[in-house]
A and B are shown apart, each in its own frame.
Chain A
Amino acid sequence: MTESNCAITYSAKDYKSETKPVWCPGCGDYSVLSSITKAFADLNLEPHKTSVVSGIGCSSRIPAYTTTYGFHTIHGRALVVGAGLKLARPDMTVLVAGGDGDGFSIGGNHFLHACRRNVDMTYVVMDNRVYGMTKGQPSPTTEPDWDASAMAPPGGTGMTPFNPLAIALAAGANFVARCFSGDPNGTAAVIAEAIKHPGFSFVAVMSPCITFREEQREWKNVVRPSPVDSTTDAAQAAKRLMTDDGFNMGILYRGARVPYSPKGAGQATIGDLEAEFAL
């Protein structure tokens, strides 16, 4: 993030726009929006020096619901638009947000490279294990036996879901966490930590789609705070991930990699460049 030293004190509602979300009543994304705005307030970020960038999906509608600068881009490309913004404008705080389909399916390659590239920005995925916007198809994080979709074969896809946290860790993300939308304060605290942490921070938020995955209402009964603190040891983090049941919430890993920042500091003039071609 970029340090804020402004005189005004912002509250969460200062970051919420007057635009009414298109989300279904009860959708987990409402709470994630609250967590993001609360995190901004906790860090007292100036709205005009902050930007929320998203792709396409229900969750990706989020930029218009904030009062920061925003870019609602195209399906799967939020991470790269966000990276371009941050690399050109290191003074901005950039938060990229979206869904599991947007980030892990159509945008999957960018996810890998965003982790590896380690640009100083935060990625919040509202994972509902379904394509909500297109009315309920299986996504890369959908359980193999889920078949309540017009497009899933009877008995489900049979495919092992992605473990986004394990992938993030393997690909080099500098901060990895898992949250639950039903705990907006806890989620806000993690997102604030993620924004503060240098480099690429990944926060997977389990955010129920109550329309196409009604059974996700049960999540509130199974999630629990992680019994252990975050680690700076990637091997240990990986081991925890491969052995937990996916319901431990909290910050898993904090790395110490130096963020990628290729912006040059040169002061050459056009004349200097042209001179190379003159005979």
Chain B
Amino acid sequence: MTQNKGVSGSVSLAMCGSGGAGVMTAANMLLDAAAEAGYYALFGRSSGPQIRGGEAAAIVRLSPEPVTSVDDTTEILLAIDWQNVQRFAAELPLDKNSVIITDPTQGEVPEVMAKSGARIVELHMKDLAKEIPGGRPNMIALGAVAQLIGLSVDVVCEVLGQSLKKKRADAYEASVAAVKKGAEAALSMGTTKQLGKLAGEPAKRWSITGNEAAALGAVRGGVRFCAAYPITPATEILEYLSSALPKVGGTFVQAEDELASINMCIGGSFGGAASITATSGPGLSLMIEALGMATASETPVVVVDVQRGGPSTGIPTKSEQSDLNIALYGLHGDGPHLVVAPNSIGDCLMTTQWAVHLAEMTQTPCIVLSDQSLGQSRTIMPVPADVAFVGKRLTVTEALPEGQVYKRYANTASGVSPMAIPGTLGCQYTADGLEHTETGLPSSQANDHSTQQDKRLRKLTGFEYGDLWATVEGEGDIAVMCWGSCVGAAREAIARAAADGVKARLIAPRLLYPTRPDVMAKALAGVKKVLVVELSHLGQFHRYLKGEYDLPAEIQQIKRGGPLPIRPNEIHSRLLSMGK
């Protein structure tokens, strides 16, 4: 299959085995070595149902160019043993170009994997490890994989040295010996796909997960308060903030539930601190009433929803894009609020930072829709741009003239009213979720309701969002419309289609609410056919696009529920048939 030029030098591989086999250690070393050598990467893990330990698969894509999507297949699958590994078969697609590396003393290649037609090669990891005092099979595996893909074994040993040499000199010696033995054994395995050569000196890069990126983005945007309740797959955001916030003079609180976490954030924000909480679908469901209060009382707050399979407890450890409806339409009443979505692991940083900026500027809650595959995967990526978004709230800075009443909800032209931060002399007011007058007094009058409704909406529709509202790339009369974690695969598919002579453009909104009819119409100018791609069984994004925007008549869909990601080849082949 034709590959995108940009990532043609990538290699996708998976290392798996039962708990204790050291799969993750080996894969992390491989990632560190690739990083050291100057490569880019995507790194995800999949594990069995056990809370800790148990079988695991490390899924890695290495590349000389930045990568934001998984590839179509697993080019190299190495199993240290096969205990329960068939469980990962659907997540590790193989074809006849794939290579399966197996230790014949550790069980048969499972039928579901063997029937792919992949070439099977044997590597006696266990026996080879035994030849080295203190040697371990996972280090044999590491050496073999590095050798096969053309990653310098010297660099692997250097990385081993950095992590082991000082602490455990004996383990270091044994590991180096095992890596070298594995590499030597790989010489007789025939050729597999090689990692492309790097052009020039290694660029400056970061290694970060989507959840870390979102958390860092929040702090960069000015967040200094977080209250939250743990939930998979958002917990890493909280872990990061619990240590980072106190370092910058901020506050982290573990709340008793999500009702508490969102309401504490609203309290903190009322007090003037830019605030954030992070959760997943079940927690977002609990926060909805409070988000309505934040909308009505005009208290900015950011909620990151790291989506997982739903409904209900669903599939906590796997991705889905099925919280779009609740994020957009979950609030009771007419409650206009912001919804944004990052479209890559690295973009979790910028988009969350932007979310804080938008929330603070418009005094409106903002939901950030990330998902498990973005949040819990690691990337080695280019150093992110130093974007200048910092939450700047319009506040009351000068004392009001004697006798003048402070109007918290003043009906201004932009809709944004200067907010008095508690402690400001002479501007005391009561924030209220009850409909209110401009001064904040409860009111059930029609004119107060319509004035305040108009103003709350105007804050959002009149805001200047700039180019960030969407990723719009390429040209052609076909448009792939998608969002969030599907964007990487779509971009790669579009590049491949272009190489095959089919032109398509990418339209991926980062700003999901408010909608932008004018700029969307521009992005769609000349488009005759649309392909909507999403990881939602009900096709929530498709319904949203049809309901909120004017689309061309011919619309095709690629949609299904999680947990399996939509891969570039699915989109690519559909584009080829649409381009005929």
Contacts and interface: CB of A to CB of B under 8 A. Distances in A.
A87 B423 CA distance: 15
B47 interface: no
Nearest to B251: A263
Contacts of A47: 428
Interface stretch (A60-68, A152-160, A174-182, A248-256): A60-68
A109 interface: yes
Interface in A80-113: 80-89, 91-92, 109-110, 112-113
A71 B216 contact: no
Nearest to A77: B263
A150 interface: no
A53 B207 CA distance: 43
Question: Which residue among B212, B271, B293, B383 has the maximum number of chain A CB atoms within 10 Å of its CB?
Answer: B271
B250 A263 contact: yes
Contacts of A87: 225, 227, 251, 253, 264, 267-268
B216 A274 contact: yes
B272 A88 contact: yes
Contacts of A88: 224-225, 251, 267-269, 271-273, 275
Question: Which residue among A73, A82, A278 has the maximum number of chain B CB atoms within 10 Å of its CB?
Answer: A73
Contact of A264 (B207, B250, B270, B433): B250
A266 interface: yes
B499 interface: no
Given A77-B263, A84-B227, A89 B423 contact: yes
B263 A265 contact: no
A74 B433 contact: yes
A5 interface: no
A51 interface: yes
Interface stretch (B89-97, B240-248, B520-528): B240-248
Interface in B14-51: 35-36
B202 to A, nearest CB: 9
Contacts of B433: 72-74
B267 A81 contact: yes
Interface in B216-244: 216, 219-220, 224-225, 227, 244
A91 B36 CA distance: 48
B110 interface: no
B424 interface: yes
Nearest to B244: A273
B224 to A, nearest CB: 8
Interface stretch (B58-66, B176-184, B254-262, B334-342): B254-262
B289 to A, nearest CB: 6
Interface in B259-301: 259-260, 263-273, 275, 289-290, 292-293, 297
Contacts of B220: 270
Given A89-B272, A262-B251, A264-B248, A83 B212 contact: no
B208 interface: yes
Interface in B189-232: 204-208, 212, 216, 219-220, 224-225, 227
Contacts of B266: 73, 81, 84
Given A264-B248, A265-B249, A277-B208, A92 B225 contact: no
B271 A84 contact: yes
Q: Size class of A's contact patch? A: 35 or more
A48 interface: yes
B267 A266 contact: no
A109 B266 CA distance: 18
B389 interface: no
A68 B383 CA distance: 47
B441 interface: yes
Nearest to A62: B430
Contacts of B271: 84-85, 88-89, 92
A80 B423 contact: no
B330 interface: no
A69 to B, nearest CB: 4
A71 B297 contact: yes
B150 interface: no
B457 to A, nearest CB: 21
A264 B268 contact: no
B268 A49 contact: no
Nearest to B432: A72
A277 B290 contact: no
Question: Which residue among A84, A112, A266, A269 has the maximum number of chain B CB atoms within 10 Å of its CB?
Answer: A84
Contacts of A74: 263, 289-290, 292-293, 433
B422 A279 contact: no
B395 to A, nearest CB: 13
Given A71-B267, A278-B205, 11 more contacts: A49-B422, A68-B428, A72-B432, A80-B264, A81-B266, A83-B260, A85-B422, A92-B271, A113-B256, A264-B251, A279-B35
Q: Please name the 10 residue pairs, one residue from A and one from B, whose CB atoms are nearest each other, closest first.
A: A264-B246, A84-B267, A70-B430, A84-B264, A88-B268, A266-B247, A89-B271, A81-B267, A88-B273, A85-B267
Interface of A: 19, 47-49, 51, 53, 63-64, 67-74, 76-77, 80-89, 91-92, 109-110, 112-113, 262-270, 272-274, 277-279
21 contacts: A49-B423, A69-B430, A71-B430, A72-B432, A73-B263, A77-B259, A77-B263, A81-B267, A84-B269, A87-B253, A88-B224, A88-B225, A88-B269, A89-B423, A113-B255, A262-B252, A264-B246, A266-B248, A269-B248, A270-B220, A279-B36
